[in-house]
Amino acid sequence: MFESFFGFSANPFQLNPDPSFFFESKGHRKAYAFLQYGLFQGEGFIVITGEIGAGKTTLVRALLGHIDPKSVVAAQLVSTQLDADDLLRAVAISFGLPVKDAGKAELLAGLEAFLTSLVPQRRRALLVVDEAQNLTSRAMEELRMLSNFQIGDRALLQSFLIGQPELRDLMRTASMQQLRQRIIASYHLGPMEPDETRAYVEHRLKHVGWKGDPSIDAQVYPALHEATAGIPRRINSLCNRLLLGAYLAGEHRIDVAKVEAAIAELRDELGEELGGAQVPSQNGETAGVPGNRPPVEGEPAWGSVRPLVLASIAARIDRIERKLDTVLVAVQDAVRGAPAVQDRAPRSGASRRPRA
């Protein structure tokens, strides 16, 4: 589609967390370093929280892509409201263990046998739980119990917990005290700085062979940053919209007027701000034993409000992405001259679409 119009090898702003596009902003680099540090320690929990769409899953995938399977057996679990009973089963499945009809005792025994069997092979087990904010406290407790498996003083399982800001709130509750004491380090991935937003956009464009087409006016970048608050997924959505708009208009230049128009369009669909002052602007970490970490004085009392606001923005962005997909398919059909084009959903302005 607009890929061939601009001579790209792929869509530079696709929304799936493809690690080959990984960009090291200060925050992403630090979060990555925390995970590496955790891997080196080989025990306990590393907790990475971050705003919705900040790049947590991309980060983890980038790390997993660099892990040597000869020394670490990594399993990934995406948590969707897992309770304690489901958790053990899900962990066993993610390590490829048979679970058919197994009760809790068998699951635990199977996991322990598996983890122990790695020791003579000089391998370690790493469990990555993404979307960990969805875990119930009982499921967290099961995870903590798993971290107790050891031979001598050597832990058999290490876990990374990755999740949205609610995970941070969950970890601070009284019932998490024991698990907190097993956290080796935690880090909160915030949005990117203005200069990083520009570098991020150019990095993704260059990754697909961008050589200045479309040209991008310098003022575009601050406008992009302001509108998206430096959150990668929002930047991708807005940039996708910009490229699509330029392609549909047959133009090879992106100026600030186009950004404003795209923002207005998206705001119209979102019904509110695209970016948002709700997003704290700093990355922050806690190393050592966060069980001892007191609640930070003066920290914004986002508590119950921020997750709701962000969840509603995320849901709306998802709706827009789905709409955009429909438009892309329709445009593709129109370009190919597919006869069934009228049967598909909304395609205003089809007559001025250039051929790719």
Ligand X SMILES: Nc1ncnc2c1ncn2[C@@H]1O[C@H](COP(=O)(O)OP(=O)(O)OP(=O)(O)O)[C@@H](O)[C@H]1O
- Catalog residues that contact ligand X under the rule CB under 6 A: 15, 17-18, 21-23, 28, 50, 52-58, 164, 232-233, 236
Nearer to Mg ion, 57 or 236 (CB): 57
Shortest Å, Cβ 161 to Mg ion: 13
Q: How far is the CB of 96 from Mg ion (least distance, A)?
A: 23
**Residue 15 Cβ vs ligand X, minimum distance, rounded to whole Å:** 5
What, of Mg ion, ligand X, none, does residue 164 touch, CB below 5 to 8 Å by kind?
Answer: ligand X
At residue 127, what are phi and psi to the nearest 5 degrees? -110, 125
Q: How far is the CB of 332 from ligand X (least distance, A)?
A: 21
Name the residue nearer to Mg ion (CB basis): 55 or 290: 55
Task: State which residue, 18 or 269, has the beta carbon closest to ligand X.
Answer: 18
Spatial distance between the Cα atoms of 200 and 203, rounded to a whole number of angstroms: 5
Q: To the nearest whole angstrom, how small is the minimum distance from the Cβ of residue 55 to ligand X?
A: 2
Residue closer to ligand X, measured from CB, 38 or 53: 53
74: its two tokens: 């990594």
Q: With b meaning 16 or more CB within 10 Å and e meaning fewer, what string describes 186-213?
A: bbbbbbbbeebbbbbbebbbebbebeee
Return the one option of Mg ion, ligand X, none that residue 133 interacts with (CB less than 5 to 8 A, by type).
none
**Other C-beta atoms lying within 10 Å of the C-beta of residue 229:** 22
Smallest separation, CB 314 to Mg ion (Å): 11
Judged by beta carbon, residue 233 or residue 241, the one nearer ligand X is 233
Instruction: Kindly state the tokens that stand for 88.
Output: 């053990």
**Among residues 25, 49, 57, 228, which is the contact residue for Mg ion, using CB under 5 A?**
57
- Tell me the pairing of strands 154-155 and 150-151: antiparallel
Number of H helices, E strands in the chain: 13, 10
Residue number of the CB atom closest to Mg ion: 57
The two most distant CA atoms of the chain are separated, in Å, by 72
With residue 118 as reference, give the H or E element that holds it. helix 104-118
197 lines the binding site for Mg ion (CB under 5 A): no
Of 48-56, 69-77, 147-155, 311-319, the segment contacting Mg ion by CB under 5 A is 48-56
Exposure string of 38-62, with b = 16+ CB inside 10 Å and e = fewer, is: bbeebbbbbbbbbbbbbbbbbbbbb
Nearer to Mg ion, 56 or 258 (CB): 56
175 burial via Cβ count (<10 Å: 0-12, 13-18, 19+): exposed
18 touches which of ligand X, Mg ion, none (CB within 5 to 8 A by kind)? Answer: ligand X
Sites of contact with Mg ion (CB under 5 A):
56-57
